[in-house]
Structure 1
Amino acid sequence: MNDRELKAARLQRALGYEFADRSLLELALTHRSAGNRNNERLEFLGDSIVNHIIAEQLYHKFPDAREGDMSRMRAALVKGDTLAEVAQELELGEHLTLGAGERKSGGRRRTSILADALEAVTGAILLDSDVETCRRCVLAWFSTRLEELDLGSAGKDAKTSLQEYLQGRGKPLPEYELLGVLGDDHNQQFHVACRLTKPALVVEGAGSSRRKAEQAAARTALERLNAYGK
């Protein structure tokens, strides 16, 4: 197995899906800067299916939620920043095919490109399989975020809530720093510090991914702030 095949196999393991038609995956990862044959049509399809799957899951998860609450939660989950975070967790960036200009300007890390790629990959999985298989993949990618939701937060995770708490009081935004990663590749534990300058506060959080660790730290910071009434 050559390097290209190894990369493709690693990506498909991360996605939780093995393509019958590998060309669909390649197309989904091809940005328009690379030529006329690109992922824009797959992105269009994927955008619709992601919205549908998330909306359906919220409908069943929150049977007492009002339409407005479900809309806010869905918006938080399918917005570009969140899609890009999921794409980063799946390491889509390193598999993208970009034009020379996008490669040089950091396109592999650009939020809009990553979000579009995730939607395109979703569309590719749908075409390569069926709706149920696509639903299983999308729900697995968003599982942690869906678990963290509660009706009271209406889609706001701890990091978002902390940011809004500080902004509403005219305080500087928090800074997150990765302190270290422990354990083997299949069982890693990330440790993160969350630092606030006003009020002065440093808390730590841990989790099986950097995002989970940051969320844990933000949650602790919010608890401290509410306890101290700051």
Structure 2
Amino acid sequence: MISNQGIQVSNTDNVSPFNPSNKMISYDEVVYILSQHGIDDKPKDITLYNKAFLHRSYCTRKNDNVLTGNIECPTDCLPLQEESNERLEFLGDAILNFVVANYLYERYPDANEGFLTKIRTKIVNGNKLAELATYLKLGDHLIISQQLEANKGRSNKNNLEDVFEALLGAIYLDFSSVNNGFIEENGVGFQTVMNFIINILETYIDFSTIVVQKVNPKDTFVKLAQHNFQWTPKFYEINVCDKDNIKEHTISIKNNEDFTIAVATGETRKMAEINAAEKALKYYGWS
């Protein structure tokens, strides 16, 4: 955490990001969140949790090593911070996907890969993670610019999804710190964050509903491609024609190397995209 002294750096030209509503999450507040979800051990490094709530809008930025937009930090505001929660989010995302996959593997021992993939996608998606973050009231502790504050940044789905994953990364790192060097203890951080995630799943997820809940194949394919391959599929409408007075749309899906993964038709562009996504899911063995 940066001390509240000296000149700070604005991340938006001519607009002050300083937000008097920001308050760093306290040690006791972290203890409460953990204890309510199966973790009785006390956190060790509060700075990890502080960073987990830091949105990039409240961080200093450098452009070609030249600091720009310097303004005085108001006395009633937190200073801008050096690093956002994005690295913790990256770590938490990887942990979450593995833990959910392992949990579903054990919960449904007779289910095939396609079923498990669909259920995982329903859980590990932006809307559901934002919902879980709302249950935990994580938005209350976000550190965001006054511009985001004015635009309901604390309830923004993307911000909530990100802070949920960043919190998981912070928990893992905090409880992975080993003082005596025994290698057997290096798994404590993972075990702790796994217990935290499973407690949340079993507290807030209605599996009887989520199993029968329909999922959009396009959303499923996009999410899986982003997670497994780190690219976003591109949907192109390559043809529209009339057949017996009914329009037929043809959609092509391509990957990041412009390779055509699937082609399908439908009476509307949306239906054609869904049909193409279903083919793409089968192409990769995800359905």
Please classify the TM superposition score into its range, dividing by the shorter chain length.
0.5 to 0.7
Superposition map of 1:1-230 within 5 A: 8-16=27-35, 17=39, 18-36=42-60, 37-129=83-175, 130-146=189-205, 148-150=206-208, 154=211, 156=213
The residue number in structure 2 matching 1:226 is none
- After superposition, the Cα gap between the structure-2 partners of 1:109 and 1:8, relative to the gap in structure 1 and judged at 3 Å, is farther
Please give the TM-score of this superposition, normalised by the length of structure 1. Answer: 0.61
| Offset at residue 68 of structure 1 (A) | 0.6
| Offset at residue 97 of structure 1 (A) | 0.4
Please give the TM-score of this superposition, normalised by the length of structure 2. Answer: 0.50
Is the contact between residue 57 and residue 144 of structure 2 (CA under 8 Å) also seen in structure 1?
A: yes
| Offset at residue 57 of structure 1 (A) | 0.3
Separation (CA, whole Å) in 2 of partners of 1:153 and 1:92: 23
Separation (CA, whole Å) in 2 of partners of 1:92 and 1:8: 14
| Offset at residue 149 of structure 1 (A) | 1.6
| Offset at residue 5 of structure 1 (A) | 8.6
| Offset at residue 7 of structure 1 (A) | 5.0
- After superposition, the Cα gap between the structure-2 partners of 1:24 and 1:56, relative to the gap in structure 1 and judged at 3 Å, is same
| Offset at residue 56 of structure 1 (A) | 0.2
Q: What amino acid sits opposite 1:87 in the alignment?
A: A
Segments of 5+ residues of structure 1 without an aligned counterpart are 165-230
Greater Rg over alpha carbons, structure? 2
Normalized per residue, the structure richer in helix is: 1
Separation (CA, whole Å) in 2 of partners of 1:32 and 1:6: 17
| Offset at residue 142 of structure 1 (A) | 1.5
Aligned residues: 154
Deviations 1:50-92 (A, max 9, x none): 0110100000000011101100100111101111111111100
- After superposition, the Cα gap between the structure-2 partners of 1:102 and 1:85, relative to the gap in structure 1 and judged at 3 Å, is same
Separation (CA, whole Å) in 1 of partners of 2:142 and 2:168: 15
Q: Secondary structure at the match of 1:19?
A: coil
Deviations 1:144-185 (A, max 9, x none): 345x324x96363xxx79xx9xxxxxxxxxxxxxxxxxxxxx
Separation (CA, whole Å) in 1 of partners of 2:163 and 2:101: 20
Superposition RMSD in Å: 2.3
